[in-house]
């Protein structure tokens, strides 16, 4: 039997009646914004996939997209995400903590980051990107640490991004 896999988007997905809108990046060139944050529960998580799509259309200037671990420093997220069982709908719920300083999206404050681990990075025009890791080579994030998908525009035009991460526990 496969390990349970969970997925979270930077949108609430529990009662979709229309397509997800995504989250706008900062409208200031060079200003980072966390679009999605995951706080593992009582055990580490093993990333299976992450990705994003520029839902407002192809950006006019590249956007720096990062998958990053920020240690125990969490962004303040304004909305809680919907962690969903991906491959086993009747399986156990994820242990990921959900809340304004845990798993969620659309950060209003980044926090004072003192240490990071860059897991993936792209300077991209879009329209979308997906990364999966070979089995046995997936990055892990320990419990109590923060996993973030961040966006930094290279122009003063905000771009709307729909992003997600999938992991096993």
Does residue 17 lie in a domain region?
no
The dihedrals phi and psi of 100, each to the nearest 5 degrees, come to -70, -15
What's the N-to-C CA distance of the chain in angstroms?
14
| CATH, residue 62 | 2.60.120
* Structural domain includes residue 36: yes
Buried b or exposed e, range 40-69, using 16+ CB within 10 angstroms? bbeeebbbbbbbbbbbbeebeeebbbbbbb
The pair of three-digit structure tokens given for residue 99, joined into one six-digit string: 């809340």
The pLDDT assigned to 39 comes to 95
- If one counts every other C-beta atom within 10 angstroms of the C-beta of residue 107, the result is 24
- Residue 159: inside a domain, yes or no? yes
Instruction: Please indicate, yes or no, if residue 18 is contained in any of the structural domains.
Output: no
Residue 71 domain-assigned (yes or no): yes
Ordered per-residue pLDDT tens for the chain, 169 residues: 678 999 999 987 877 778 888 899 999 999 999 999 999 999 999 999 999 999 877 898 999 999 999 989 999 998 776 898 999 888 899 999 888 999 999 999 999 998 899 999 999 888 999 999 998 999 999 999 999 999 999 999 999 999 999 999 9
The predicted structure's pLDDT at residue 2: 77
Q: Which two tokens stand for residue 104?
A: 């969620």
* Range list of β-strands (E), the chain: 5-9, 23-24, 33-38, 45-54, 63-69, 76-80, 84-85, 104-109, 117-124, 128-132, 140-141, 147-153, 160-168
Contact 106, 112 (CB under 8 A): no
| Nearest Cα to Cα of residue 55 among 148, 131, 128, 143 | 128
Structural domain of 65: 5-12+24-168
Does residue 19 sit within a domain? no
- SS3 (DSSP) at 158: coil
Is residue 50, in this structure, part of any structural domain at all?
A: yes
Give the total number of structural domains in the chain: 1
């Amino acid at each position: 039997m496969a390990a349970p896999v969970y997925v979270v988007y930077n949108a609430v997905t529990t009662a979709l009646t229309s397509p997800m809108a995504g989250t706008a990046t900062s409208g200031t060139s060079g200003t980072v914004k966390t679009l999605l944050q995951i706080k593992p529960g009582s055990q580490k998580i093993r990333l299976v996939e992450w990705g994003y799509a520029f839902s407002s259309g192809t950006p006019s200037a590249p956007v720096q997209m990062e998958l990053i671990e920020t240690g125990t420093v969490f962004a303040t997220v304004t909305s809680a995400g919907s962690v969903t069982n991906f491959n086993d709908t009747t399986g156990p719920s994820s242990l990921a903590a959900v809340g304004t300083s845990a798993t969620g999206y659309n950060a209003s404050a980044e926090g004072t980051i003192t240490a990071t681990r860059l897991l993936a990075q792209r300077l991209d025009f879009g329209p979308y990107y997906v990364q999966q890791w070979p089995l046995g080579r997936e990055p892990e994030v320990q419990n109590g640490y923060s996993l973030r998908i961040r966006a930094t525009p290279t122009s003063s035009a905000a771009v709307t991004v729909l992003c997600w991460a999938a992991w096993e526990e």
